[in-house]
Chain A
Amino acid sequence: MKRVVITGAGTINSLGHSVPDTLEAMREGRCGISELEFRDVDRLSIKIGGQVRKFEAEGRFNRQQMTLYDRFTQFTLTAAKEAVDQSGIVFSGDTAARSGVVLGTAGGGVSTWDDNYRSVYEDGKNRVHPFVVPKLMNNAAASHVSMEHNLKGPSFTVSTACASSNHAMAQAFQMVRSGVAPAMVTGGSESMLCFGGVKAWEGLRVMSKDACRPFSANRNGMVQGEGAGVFVFEEYENARARGADILCEVVGFAMSSDASDIVMPSKQGAARAMAGALSDARLNASDVGYINAHGTGTAANDKTECAAVADVFGPHADDLMISSTKSMHGHLIGGTGAVELLACIMALRDGVIAPTIGYEEPDPECALDVVPNEAREARVDVALSNAFAFGGLNAVLALKRM
């Protein structure tokens, strides 16, 4: 088995248009959640979200590209460029032939669906643009990344709701670890912040109208975000040989299915995924210093996740730190695990633990060290990143400091 390292990271989200900007915002505990701005927002009862601001697609992409790139693809390409540039890896020859791209998204081109349904249903038009289908399809972003960066190996899109990008990165990890691919571009993206995308979530009655406050006793629901996180996963010996700056090592993963309920989380399913990731990485529970929580800010998730952590880690649960950065960037649904992986990298590489902001009242059912409101300096050797999706599909990654 090969060792797998991360040599490049890229992002765009409501906290920043790059990794350095995002990490600075996380260090400062800034909140990217604010009043949503898009057409018909006045017809929503949920009016807040972690929206990407001042992103000018024009100028970044040409006219022909713009007709093919939904916002989720634009975010993905922006993050992928940052990651590949940082990595310095050159995809040519055999490396290009065997390297691929695996990305997660839950909704794909949601705003393309939304705009075109509006056009035919509300405006009564009977003709749509010829590229509606290639623009909205869930694999559009992965395909455009493959074209942009010459990735000709295994490439596809994973869609497992809120765990999409963790499942995607686990797949990419397996491919590099097993030797199938020398490197993989991986992560995820989401762009559901349009009228139809928020209206659908509103229906479930789990959204907060004011803030995302994970683990706080007065939490009242999740807040949507948007954006992308993309990484270069690379075989360690190759990365070292070409002198790449290694951000951290990916050491294990696990996936599990609750097989119980379409929306309610399960302590057992979450615990099996965390314990499985430790076992895959051949780590002890006591090695883990930080967990980036799924931490949605719903009543059900946060208490279930904390109970699962207590089960897996025993007394060590009280010694480790666990925070939810969704309090800052919102829930990026299929892209969330990718943006949250940045908080793990910051913990391992910089020794800075991103806080759970908006924390106001302790909840006895979430009695862990949730790094409330302010970032903390601490040396961390191993970090876990949790994602527990609707549908009961869970994926956890284990990362190690180099």
Chain B
Amino acid sequence: MSISDRVIAIIAEQAVLEPSDVTPDSTLEDLGIDSLGLVESIFAIEEEFDITVPFNANEPTASDFDISNVAAIITGIEKLVSEKV
């Protein structure tokens, strides 16, 4: 499975949707994922890829990790995975 498919599978599970219902331009809000759901998704992604995502719920836009939609999240994860030593 590609990184993209794996991220979508995690987000779909959190949103209780089929992966096919999660499109790159979906926002988390569209998918019904609230702030707790977001923190849980990030935890699941960190575990899946053994990476650390710089995310503070108080300032979600402060780090360069973009959560504006699914495509942005996938791009961010791909970058973090590629940077992994």
Give A residues with C-beta under 8 Å from B.
Answer: 45, 203-209, 219-221, 262-264, 298-300
Over the window 50-83 of chain B, the binary record of Cβ atoms lying under 8 Å from chain A Cβ atoms (1 yes, 0 no) is: 0010011111001000000000000000000000
Over the window 27-68 of chain B, the binary record of Cβ atoms lying under 8 Å from chain A Cβ atoms (1 yes, 0 no) is: 000000001100100110000000010011111001000000
Distance from A263 Cβ to chain B, minimum over Cβ atoms (Å): 6
Question: In whole angstroms, how far apart are the Cα atoms of A298 and B56 in the complex?
Answer: 10
User: A264: which of B35, B43, B59, B62 is its contact (CB, 8 Å)?
Assistant: B35
Would you mind naming 28 contact pairs between A and B with Cβ atoms under 8 Å apart?
A: A45-B52, A203-B43, A204-B57, A205-B42, A205-B55, A205-B56, A206-B57, A206-B58, A207-B56, A208-B56, A208-B58, A209-B56, A219-B58, A220-B56, A220-B58, A220-B59, A220-B62, A221-B57, A221-B58, A262-B36, A263-B36, A264-B35, A298-B57, A298-B58, A299-B57, A299-B58, A299-B59, A300-B58
Distance from A34 Cβ to chain B, minimum over Cβ atoms (Å): 20
How many A-B residue pairs have C-beta atoms within 8 angstroms? Tell me.
35
Chain B count of residues within 8 A CB distance of the other chain: 12
User: Which residue of B has the minimal Cβ distance to A209?
Assistant: B56
User: Which residue of A has the minimal Cβ distance to B55?
Assistant: A205
Question: In whole angstroms, how far apart are the Cα atoms of A299 and B62 in the complex?
Answer: 13
Give B residues with C-beta under 8 Å from A.
Answer: 35-36, 39, 42-43, 52, 55-59, 62
User: B56: which of A206, A262, A263, A300 is its contact (CB, 8 Å)?
Assistant: A206
User: Which residue of A has the minimal Cβ distance to B54?
Assistant: A45
Question: In whole angstroms, how far apart are the Cα atoms of A235 and B43 in the complex?
Answer: 51
A-B contact sample (6 more), CB < 8 A, given A204-B39, A206-B58, A209-B56:
A206-B56, A208-B56, A220-B62, A262-B36, A264-B35, A299-B57
Distance from B73 Cβ to chain A, minimum over Cβ atoms (Å): 15
**Residues of chain A lying within 8 A (CB to CB) of residue B42:** 205
